[in-house]
C-alpha cells in the first residue's frame, strides 16, 4: 500500500462536510490529493458544496497521526484501498451519482466481473434458502459473480451458493472490514476473501449500525447489472435495495412466493409493480445479456461452427476464448470434457463461455446450454 498517496484520501474523507459528491469535485478541480491540502481557502471555497468552514478545515488539517493509525490498522488487517481512479474499481459503481471515492477491500476485485446481486430476508424459509442456493450456484457456474451483504438468511446462502460452484462472490458490509457481522459468519468471511472480495466504504472499527445498511445497499445494487430479490417482507431492507436498483437503472428480479407467506409479500408486491418474475437463471440472463456490447452481428442459428468462428476476428478473442473455440470447432462437446482437455480451470472456462454466449448462440460453438447448466460439480 502506498502510504504517501492514501493518507490524503483518508484525510479528505474524514473531514466533516466532504461527502461523496464534493470529494471528486475537489479532485477534478485540483487534479491531485496533495494539491487539495495545499490550496488556499479562497480557491477551495470556489467548489460547489464547499463552504468556507469546510475549506478552512481542509486547509488547516493537522490530524495526520490519526490517519497514520488507520493506515497501520489497514496494513495489520490486510485491507487494501481501491479508489475510483483505479482500473479495478467496479465499473457499474462508477455510474452512480454518490459513488464512494474509495473502497476498503479484502480479497480481489476483478474488472471483468459480471455482477449480479442476490438479496433477501434474514428470516429465510426453507424454500427461500433452496431457491437462493440454486440460483446463485447456477449463475456462478456460468461465470457470473454473486454480490450480497453477508447478512443472515438469504444473503449468506447466496454467497455459499456461489462458493459451492467454486465461483466468485463479493460481500458488501455495513461495518468496517475488521468487524465481522454477524459474528457467526467468520468462516464465510474468510471463504469469500479467498474466492472474491469483501468490501466496505466504512473505515476499520466502524460498528454495524442500522443506519449503515441502507447506505451499503446502494453499493450492492450499484455495482451489479441486476438485483434478484428472493424473499422479502413488506418492510424488508431488501425492498430498499430494489428501489435503489430502479433509481440506478438496474434490472430488478423477484422470486414469486406463496400468497400465504409473510416473507413473500414484498417480492410478490415487486412483481405486481413491474419487477421481472423469475423461475430460473435463464430469466435473469436474457435480461442482462443485451446490456453488453456485441462485437458481431449474429447470423441465423443454422450456421455451423466454422462460420460462427469466422464472424469474430481472432485478434479480439482472448487466449482462453481461442483455446476453447479451437477445441470445440470439430463438433459438440460436454463441458467436463472441455475442462479436462484444455487444462483450463473451470472458473476460466465458465467465464469465457458466458462471454462467448453473449456473442453467438451456445449451439454455434458446440457447447450445449444443458451441459453448462446441468454439469456436475468440478473443482477448479
Q: Is residue 336 in some structural domain? A: yes
Whether residues 114 and 171 fall in one domain: yes
Contact 107, 198 (CB under 8 A): yes
- Residue 300 belongs to a domain: no
**Does a structural domain hold residue 127?**
yes
pLDDT for res 345: 64
User: Can you list the positions of beta strands (E) in the chain?
Assistant: 80-83, 102-107, 115-119, 145-148, 169-172, 196-200, 226-229, 251-254, 276-277
Task: Look at phi and psi of residue 231 and say left if phi exceeds 0, alpha if psi is from -120 to 50, else beta.
Answer: beta
Q: Are residues 169 and 250 located together in one domain of the fold?
A: yes
Residue 88: inside a domain:
no
At 61 the pLDDT is 96
Number of domains, the chain? 3
CATH number at residue 111: 3.40.50.450
Question: Are both 115 and 67 inside the same structural domain?
Answer: no
Domain of 49, CATH number, reads: 1.10.150.20
- DSSP tag of 227: E
Do 228 and 350 have their domain in common? no
| Last residue within a domain, chosen from 34, 60, 76 | 76
pLDDT value of residue 263: 81
Residue 5's pLDDT is what? Answer: 84
Structural domain boundaries enclosing 27: 3-76
- Identify whether the C-beta of residue 132 lies closer than 8 Å to the C-beta of residue 124: yes
Question: Do 40 and 128 fall within a single domain?
Answer: no
Provide the pLDDT for residue 97: 87
Q: In this predicted model, what pLDDT tens digit does every residue of 174-184 receive, in sequence order?
A: 999 999 999 99
Report pLDDT digits (tens) over 60-114. 999 999 999 999 999 999 999 999 999 999 999 999 989 999 999 999 999 889 9
- Are both 321 and 233 inside the same structural domain? no
- Which segments in the chain show pLDDT lower than 50? 294-316, 330, 358-380
What pLDDT is stored for residue 294 in this prediction? Answer: 39
Q: What count of other Cβ atoms lies within 10 Å of the Cβ of residue 178?
A: 18
SS (H, E, C) 65-99: HHHHHHHHHHHHCCCEEEECCCCCCCCHHHHCCCC
Number of helical H runs and strand E runs in the chain:
18, 9
265 lies in some domain: yes
What's residue 116's pLDDT?
A: 97
Tell me, yes or no, whether 380 lies in a domain. Answer: no
Rounded Cα–Cα distance for residues 219 and 149 (Å): 10
154 and 254 in a single domain? The answer is yes
Q: Please identify, among 76, 95, 115, the residue that sits at the C-terminal boundary of a domain.
A: 76
Same-domain status, 315 and 284: no
Last residue of a domain, one of 263, 291, 319: 291
47 and 131 in a single domain? The answer is no
Same domain, 341 and 367: yes
Residue 151 lies in a domain: yes
Q: Cell digits for 342?
A: 484444455
332 and 287 co-located in one domain: no
In a domain, 68, yes or no: yes
Residue 264: the pLDDT is 84
Question: How much is the pLDDT for 266?
Answer: 86
- How much is the pTM? 0.76
Quote the pLDDT of residue 336.
58
pLDDT score of 232: 87
Same domain membership, residue 277 and residue 172: yes
**What pLDDT shows up at residue 290?**
78
Cα 292 versus chain centre, distance = 16
Amino acid at each position: 500500500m502506498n502510504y504517501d498517496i492514501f493518507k490524503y484520501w483518508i484525510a479528505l474523507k474524514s473531514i466533516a462536510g466532504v461527502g461523496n459528491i464534493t470529494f471528486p469535485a475537489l479532485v477534478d478541480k485540483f487534479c491531485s490529493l496533495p494539491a487539495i491540502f495545499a490550496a488556499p481557502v479562497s480557491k477551495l471555497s470556489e467548489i460547489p458544496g464547499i463552504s468556507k468552514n469546510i475549506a478552512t478545515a481542509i486547509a488547516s488539517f493537522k490530524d495526520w497521526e490519526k490517519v497514520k493509525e488507520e493506515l497501520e490498522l489497514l496494513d495489520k488487517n490486510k485491507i487494501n484501498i481501491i479508489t475510483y481512479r483505479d482500473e479495478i474499481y467496479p465499473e457499474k459503481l462508477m455510474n452512480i451519482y454518490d459513488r464512494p471515492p474509495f473502497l476498503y477491500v479484502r480479497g480481489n476485485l476483478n474488472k471483468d466481473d459480471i455482477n449480479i446481486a442476490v438479496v433477501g430476508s434474514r428470516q429465510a424459509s426453507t424454500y427461500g434458502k433452496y431457491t437462493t442456493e440454486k440460483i446463485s450456484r447456477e449463475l456462478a457456474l456460468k461465470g457470473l459473480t454473486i454480490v450480497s451483504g453477508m447478512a443472515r438468511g438469504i444473503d449468506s446462502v447466496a454467497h455459499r451458493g456461489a462458493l459451492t460452484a467454486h465461483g466468485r462472490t463479493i460481500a458488501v458490509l455495513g461495518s468496517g472490514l475488521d468487524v465481522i457481522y454477524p459474528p457467526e459468519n467468520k468462516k464465510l468471511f474468510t471463504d469469500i476473501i479467498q474466492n472474491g472480495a469483501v468490501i466496505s466504504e466504512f473505515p476499520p472499527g466502524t460498528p454495524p449500525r442500522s443506519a449503515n445498511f441502507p447506505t451499503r445497499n446502494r453499493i450492492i445494487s450499484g455495482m451489479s447489472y441486476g438485483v434478484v430479490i428472493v424473499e422479502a417482507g413488506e418492510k424488508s431492507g431488501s425492498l430498499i435495495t430494489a428501489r435503489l436498483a430502479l433509481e440506478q437503472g438496474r434490472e430488478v428480479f423477484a422470486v414469486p412466493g406463496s400468497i400465504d407467506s409473510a416473507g413473500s409479500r414484498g417480492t410478490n408486491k415487486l412483481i405486481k409493480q413491474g419487477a421481472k418474475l423469475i423461475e430460473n437463471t435463464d430469466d435473469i440472463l436474457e435480461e442482462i445479456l443485451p446490456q453488453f456490447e456485441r462485437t458481431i452481428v449474429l447470423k441465423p442459428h443454422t450456421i455451423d461452427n466454422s462460420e460462427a468462428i469466422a464472424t469474430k476476428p481472432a485478434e479480439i478473442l482472448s487466449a482462453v476464448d481461442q483455446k476453447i473455440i479451437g477445441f470445440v470447432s470439430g463438433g459438440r462437446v460436454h463441458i467436463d470434457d472441455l475442462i479436462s482437455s484444455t487444462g483450463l480451470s473451470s472458473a476460466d472456462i465458465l467465464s469465457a463461455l458466458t462471454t462467448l454466449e453473449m456473442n453467438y448462440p451456445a449451439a454455434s460453438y458446440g457447447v450445449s446450454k444443458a451441459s453448462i447448466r446441468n454439469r456436475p460439480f468440478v473443482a477448479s
